[in-house]
Structure 1
Amino acid sequence: MIRIRWRFVVYVLLVIALIAAGVVRICAGDVVSGTSFLVTCLVVFTAAKVLEQRRVRKSKESGMVPYDERDEARAGKAALFTLRILLLLLTVTMLIVYTVGVNWEIPVIIPVGIILFLASFILRVSYWILNRM
């Protein structure tokens, strides 16, 4: 029960942070971008919460336990695998950039976005694979 409350608190804090980011963007003068960011984030998070509640309700109706400790073990293994792969990729990339001496002038947000996408993708795929075993 504590875990469910903690997840809800994290969800609320994340939604508040996204709303604050959108409001800051709107106050900075970029109304269109800030509004579209707010709407998109809130729609995605609402859809995710509705789908999660539907999954929990269906599992309860079928007599299954909605939260199982085996899921947490699989999620931990998937997270550890993702962390190791990302550290390997970052190390290899850093060594290549250091040895070649590439002087790229790209915004910082591009590699950060790529790394976040890779982390999310590898985590989902590794969890899916571990869940299938």
Structure 2
Amino acid sequence: MNVHTQISDYLAAQPERKRGDMQTLHAMMLRLMPDCRLWFLDGKDESGRTVSNPNIGYGRFTMAYADGRTREFYQIGLSANTTGISVYIMGLDDRTYLAETYGGALGKATVTGYCIKFGTLRNIDLSVLEAAIRDGIARTST
């Protein structure tokens, strides 16, 4: 199954309210990164055990680990979770940057080092979320 079909199936499987929000965010990501690499991670490890929620990824950058290893990964991730939606902005070195820069203006969201988590789009300022995503893209683009 190709990545576009996996993403479509994943979005279609979401409850109605969450599906609309996820589709809005997916469309925004395709507008912001029209030629990006798309990823779909089903949340399972090599043995088939569930280790995370499934997620859609956009773009690519090289993650560097402390031991010197590297791996290719997405720049921005989108995932449904039990209480709402998570947007992952990968590759930020400063773990306080997102919260300090965007946390206060986002609305009803929890912001960690690389994750913005919220219940529904109506609870946040979408333009601030888009600004945070654009910032993350710019910081991790080569």
Taking structure 2 as the reference length, what is the TM-score of the superposition?
A: 0.30
Higher helix share: 1
- Determine which structure has the larger strand proportion and give its number: 2
**Larger gyration radius, structure 1 or structure 2:** 1
TM-score (norm. length: structure 1): 0.32
Select the structure with the greater relative contact order (CA < 8 A; seq sep ≥ 6).
Answer: 1
